[in-house]
Structure formats: C-alpha cells, structure tokens
Amino acid sequence: MTVAVFGLLLLGAVPIALVLALTAMVYIQVSGNSVLFDSYPQQLFGAIESYGLLAIPLFMLAGELMNEGGVTRRLIDLARLLVGGFRGGLAYINLVANMMMAAIIGSAASQIAIMSRAMVPAMEQEGYSRSYGAAITAAGGLLSPIIPPSMLFVLFGVMAQVPIAEMFIAGILPGLLLGFSFFLAIAVVGLVQQYPRGRWPTRAEVKQALIMGLPALAIPLIIIGGILLGLATPTESAALASLAALLLGRFLYGDLRFGMLPTVLKRTAVNAGLVIMLIAAAGVFGWVIVYERLPQMAAAWIAALTTDPFLFLLLLIGVLLLVGMIIDGIAALILVVPILLPIATQQFGISPYQFGVVVCLTLVLGLLTPPVGAGLYIASSMTGASPMRIFRSLIPFLLASLVTLVLLAWQPWLTTALIGR
C-alpha cells in the first residue's frame, strides 16, 4: 500500500517534498502504529535542526549577489586570460569559468541557469552550435556538487555526521580530476569538429581583466581558503562570501543597487525554503525507512552479491544512475544515505568521504539525463536549444564523468588524501 502511494504520487508530478511527507503519513496509518503520529512533527523539525544547513541559503545568496553584481562576468574575463587562445577557446573559457563559479555557488541547477545566460550567446556568435554551448555549460554544472562548496556535501555531512569542512576538502581532487576529463573531452571534440582557434587577449585587455577580475577571485579564495586553513566554518565562509559579493557588486563594480536587494533576498528565501522543506520531509521518510529495518535487509541482499568494496561501489553507481534519472538529487541523497551508508562503512569498510563523493556525483548526473533531466530543461529554457540536441552534445562529457566515477570508486586515496584519512 505504502509503495503504491509513493509511486502514484511520484508519477502524478506531486512535489517531491509532499510525496515523502504524505508517504510517511500513509505508512503510519497503514501500520496501525498511530502513536508515531505524535513524533511526526518532532521528526520534521529534527531533520532541519542543524547549524550546518544554514550554509545552504547563504551560498545561494552569494551566488545571487555575484550574478546581479557583475562578479560572474569578471570571472569569465579572468578565465579568458588562461585558456582563451586555444582551439575552441570559448569552450575552455566556459569550463574554467564554471570551475570558478563552482567554488562559490554550490548548486548545479543554479550554476547551469546563471552560466547559460552568460556564456551560450557569446559562443553562438563565434560559430559554435547553440546545443554544444549549452552542453558545455550544463556539463560545467556537474562540477558544482564536487568542487567545494557543495550543497549536497553539506547535506551529506549533516546526515553522515562527518565534518562538512572535511567533506569539502575531500571533493577538491575529484573536482580537479573531473575538470581535467572535461578539458580532454573539449580538446577531442574541438579537433573533430574543427572549432575556430581562440584569440589571446592583448596586453591592455590582460591588464583590465586582472584589475577587475582579481577582486572577484577573492570570493572563492575566501570560501576555500577559510575552510582549508581552519579560519572559518563552511557556514561562516558562506556569510563572508555573501558580504564580499555585496561589497564588490555595489562599491567596486557598481552593477548592484541597494534597490535590487529585496528581489535578490526574496528569490534566495524562496529557493532555500524549497530545499529546507524537502530536507524536513525526507527526514520523516528516512525515519520510516530506518523503523522498517530497510538498511539491514538491503545489507543482506548486497552481501549475497559481492564482498568486494570496488564492485559494491560499481553496483551503487549503476543503481544511483537510475535513481538520479527519476528523483531530484537532494531528495535521492536523503533517501539513499540512511540505507546505504551503514552498509558501505560497516560491511565494506569504505570511507564515508569516498562514499559521499561517489554518491553525490552519480546522483547529479541525473540532472543531465532523461526522462527527468532538470538540468537539460534549465539549459534548454535559458538558451532555446532542444533538450535532446543538448543531450547528444553532452555524451562525451557524460562518458568522461563515468570514467571519473570508476576511478574514484577504484582509488579511495583520491578522496581521502587531502584530509589524511
């Protein structure tokens, strides 16, 4: 009965937060254990009673302020200095700019929306197809949940009870590895398609870009440096980044007006409220899962298939690719972690950091794969390109992501080396 209600609500396009909350209520009613209703509000509140979750709206606010204040545009100009002269130069610029933005925004969907507006029209003007420009921008969004800060890492750290700062550090090498694999994909596609050579900027352009871009680069340095050096928690770093974006956009670049702040704050509050509501509902659903002893049953089933940690992670990647195609990444993370994390750590001896990085990247791939593919539709709505054309152009980047996932599953040190575990 409970499974049927969950499936019907999900297929009926009911918001995922309501699906989880209503399914938990149906389970309590069907089980006859009505005393659990007394704990329902407590479980809802308990799921979001974490200081670490405050980083989510603050990182969202930093991204909004950067976009409105012109910081994003200056980071793109800075990326042009590094890779603009290579064949397919704008494609590399797009990717490098996405890596810089990934160190600030922390949300793949937000990053795809922001960078699609900023990069795709410029790429189209220089002879790239609109779908290819949108595909690179969407692929760059995959860096957001891996390169710190990451909303998924914040959620995983809260759920797995591991330090969020260490979770961020664990994502640095995987993020760089994924970025390098995307560079290779761009190089191969550029040679095959014979995309135009880029243009290296003149000395005057270099000087102008450095003067205006280096202050913008201070924002990701504040976030990552503060966390790596232990000077600030992720939440404090997010608050400092928001303040820096406000000051730069208003007083240095002049693009941000104080009259725009109510709109920015309202947009941030609405988006953050949706995420927090989802976390609360998924907390209740996870409570039901644990009450039903699903982790123990899943552990027994998986133990019958393999005892090898690498094979377990490969199986996990395969299953989560299917889950990510149907369910939003945040909701899927909250659903699978209570079930699979105890199995990974206790039965297979897998580091929670390796498990978290592999799970987060795998689930975010669902943003770019049909049938749901929210990232595809965001890129499509921002650029006007067909979702399926974007998906076809995305295939080299999806293959690069899968190769990276296999490496991360095979070599645990890629996620644990920088944290010394």
pLDDT (0 to 100) of residue 132:
85
Domain definitions of the chain by residue range: 1-34, 36-416
pLDDT (0 to 100) of residue 354:
94
pLDDT (0 to 100) of residue 289:
67
Three-class HEC string of the chain = CHHHHHHHHHHCCCCHHHHHHHHHHHHHHHHCCCCHHHHHHHHHHHHCCCHHHHHHHHHHHHHHHHHHHCHHHHHHHHHHHHHCCCECHHHHHHHHHHHHHHCCCCCHHHHHHHHHHHHHHHHHHCCCCHHHHHHHHHHHHHHCCCCCCCHHHHHHHHHHCCCHHHHHHHCHHHHHHHHHHHHHHHHHHHHHHCCCECCCCCHHHHHHHHHHHHHHHHHHHHHHHHHHCCCCCHHHHHHHHHHHHHHHHHHHCCCCCHHHHHHHHHHHHHHHHHHHHHHHHHHHHHHHHHHCCHHHHHHHHHHCCCCCHHHHHHHHHHHHHHHHHHCCHHHHHHHHHHHHHHHHHHHCCCCHHHHHHHHHHHHHHHHHCCCCCHHHHHHHHHHCCCHHHHHHHHHHHHHHHHHHHHHHHHCCHHHHCCCCC
pLDDT tens by residue, 333-352: 877 887 888 888 888 889 99
Pick from 122-131, 151-160, 280-289 the range whose average pLDDT is largest.
151-160
Whether the model pTM is above 0.85: no
pLDDT (0 to 100) of residue 193:
73
- 357 pLDDT exceeds 90? yes
pLDDT range class, residue 421, cuts 50, 70, 90: low
pLDDT tens by residue, 300-325: 677 677 888 999 999 888 888 877 77
pLDDT range class, residue 177, cuts 50, 70, 90: very high
Q: Identify the weakest region by mean pLDDT among 93-97, 121-125, 219-223, 285-289.
A: 285-289
pLDDT (0 to 100) of residue 106:
65
Instruction: Output the furthest CA–CA distance in the chain (Å, rounded).
Output: 75
- 93 pLDDT exceeds 70? yes
pLDDT mean over 42-51 = 72
pLDDT (0 to 100) of residue 331:
72
pLDDT (0 to 100) of residue 144:
78
pLDDT mean over 126-137 = 83
pLDDT (0 to 100) of residue 405:
93
What percentage of residues in the chain have a pLDDT greater than 90?
9
pLDDT tens by residue, 254-282: 888 888 889 888 888 887 777 777 777 77
pLDDT range class, residue 1, cuts 50, 70, 90: low
